[in-house]
Amino acid sequence: MDLGDLAGKVVLVTGASRGIGAAVARGFAHHGAQVGVHFHSARDAAAAVARDIAAAGARAEIFQADLSDADEPARLVADAVARFGRIDVLVNNAGDLVGRHAMVDTPDDVLETIYRLNIRSVVAASKAAVIAMKRQGGGGAIVNSSSLAARNGGGGGSMLYAGSKGFVSTFTRGLAKDVARDGIRVNAVAPGIIETDLQDKHTSRAVLDQLAAATPLGRNAPAEDCVGAYLFLASARMSGFVTGQVIEVNGGLLMP
């Protein structure tokens, strides 16, 4: 895959201290991008990702922000622009399932947390990035992290998470229409069962094994299996006529 156009680009990845975000940050660095590594509380993990990026010969900067705070997504983007001088790609990856609950047992604060982190932060960061990209003269890419749950309603007790990812998929399409004339492309990746600490925290080993057996490719995936989709959507050379799309990366578990 010829991704030479990513070399030197400034890419901000939210939720990049671990899991899919960390793998995506390293993937961009492999193709010569300058990478902003966002973290909330895991500073040491973010620093380790930044060291890996530097070892690959690319520039990395780490940025702390609590994206559940209404003002923090815009500040994060502004800080990245101030430090790098511009922003070419925003990857809205930060998010959380928070917890599995039956609807009648769901605490009110779970809904509020999912809304703030999985929905509001994506909107706020995207708005700030679009403003910055337009000031730069237009062009750029936003790649959002949706989920298989956006289409199938999620596993047991995760309907609020699934709903938030359904929003991300629909928002992706709407924003793509809104900013197309500015040369900004907006797409999303919808991972399936990816073996990360998020899954370890919320899903039992027995259930993960059952899902692997039900997947046509016969396995769940490491975070690295998602990276190519994000790189493809960020590269104008590879996907310059692709916008408003959601790429499913799920081993065939769902074939829409």
- Which residues are marked as active site? 147, 161, 165
Reduced DSSP (H G I as helix, E B as strand, rest coil) percent helix, strand, coil of the chain, to 5: 50, 15, 35
Distance in angstroms (rounded) separating the CA atoms of residues 41 and 46: 9
Task: Extract the tokens encoding 55.
Answer: 């070892």
Task: Extract the tokens encoding 231.
Answer: 């790189």
Task: Extract the tokens encoding 23.
Answer: 């793998």
The candidate with the shortest Cα–Cα distance to 50, out of 62, 34, 32, is: 62
Distance in angstroms (rounded) separating the CA atoms of residues 115 and 110: 9
Q: Which long-range contacts (CB under 8 A, 24 or more apart) does 211-218 make?
A: 211/253, 214/253, 215/250, 215/251, 215/252, 215/253, 216/251, 216/252, 216/253, 217/251, 217/252, 218/251
